[in-house]
Amino acid sequence: MRDLGTGFGYLAKGQRWVAGHGRWLGFGLIPGLITLVLYAAALTGLALGADDLIAWATPFADDWSSPWLGLFRGFLTVLLFALGLFLAVITFTAVTLLVGQPFYESLSEQVDKSESPDGTAPESGLPLLRELWISARDSLRILARALLWAVLLFFLGFIPVLGQTVVPAIGFCVTGFFLAQELTSVALQRRRVEVREQLALLRANRMMTWGFGVPLALSFLIPFVAVFLMPGAVAGATLMVRDLRGENEVPPGEPRPQLDPNAQPYGPHPQPYGGQAPHPQAYGGQAPQPYGGPNPYQQ
């Protein structure tokens, strides 16, 4: 059953995967560090200039008496910074994925290869520039949706009681959903799944998506944590995509069956026309040759 625990399980499994592949952990930290520096500078500038910005935007309150002027503008300043922090959490993943597209593409592909029975990974077949364009375009689409939610939640935050309890909880669910979408898009784009199909897939498995994305959104509020969790989050999102697409042969946590070295040539291997190839004796010792060539059963 795909529930909150299943989604969180993939998040944890992704972290374990990169912990066991130290080279890929270091490789995946580079984009996050670059983005962190950019966002830290932006949030610092917002914190330093928020008071002046609110004062400029509310000239009608200049003549208000104390303490109402300070309380009103102080409340708006806190809301403005909270909105900026919300947008930073929402967009951090998108920007990091855009900056680190080649890094995370390689990481996700390696996870696919490690989980695939035949050691292969799906490939989009598109040039790198085309992939970057699709990633940027889809990120802008998701950002537009996230901004609409951010504006709505910003105004709902003025509602007494609900604005301080229910609205923040909804905000984390929205943030978690979009974080999961951005992270799973790395693996889904290689499978040529369009952004509308991605959203539909995640909505159909909303509890699993929240179980993956909401804990990640909460952890991203802690400085520097997002940088170190990003490689594992990409790995976990790839594992979750394999589940959502029905590509996992065994449930997470269970051992993957090993190939029997004494297995017959026509064992459980995939056949070119689907199904299991019949035993050669069914053809009187003459096995069909779909690709031509000598018959190994002919004496």
pLDDT digits (tens, 9 = 90+) for 119-138: 888 887 777 777 778 877 88
Per-residue pLDDT of 231-255, as tens digits, reads 899 999 999 999 998 886 554 455 5
Report the SS3 class of residue 40.
helix
Tell me, yes or no, whether 18 lies in a domain. Answer: yes
Tell me, yes or no, whether 34 lies in a domain. Answer: yes
DSSP-derived letter for residue 125 is: -
Domains of the chain: total: 1
Alpha-carbon gap, residue 8 to 5, rounded angstroms: 5
Tell me, yes or no, whether 233 lies in a domain. Answer: yes
Tell me, yes or no, whether 286 lies in a domain. Answer: no
pLDDT at 138: 81
- Return the closest-CA partner of residue 108 out of 24, 26, 177: 24
Enter the tokens of residue 294: 């000598």
pLDDT at 249: 54
Tell me, yes or no, whether 240 lies in a domain. Answer: yes
Of the two residues 260 and 80, the one the predictor is more confident about is 80
- Say what percent of the chain tops pLDDT 90: 18
Average pLDDT, the chain: 78
Tell me, yes or no, whether 53 lies in a domain. Answer: no
pLDDT at 277: 44
Range of the domain at 99: 4-39+86-244
pTM, two decimal places: 0.64
Tell me, yes or no, whether 68 lies in a domain. Answer: no
Alpha-carbon gap, residue 262 to 252, rounded angstroms: 27
Confidence of residue 292 (pLDDT cuts 50, 70, 90): very low
Q: Are 7 and 236 in contact (CB under 8 A)?
A: no
Confidence of residue 279 (pLDDT cuts 50, 70, 90): very low
Enter the tokens of residue 143: 């950002």
Tell me, yes or no, whether 90 lies in a domain. Answer: yes
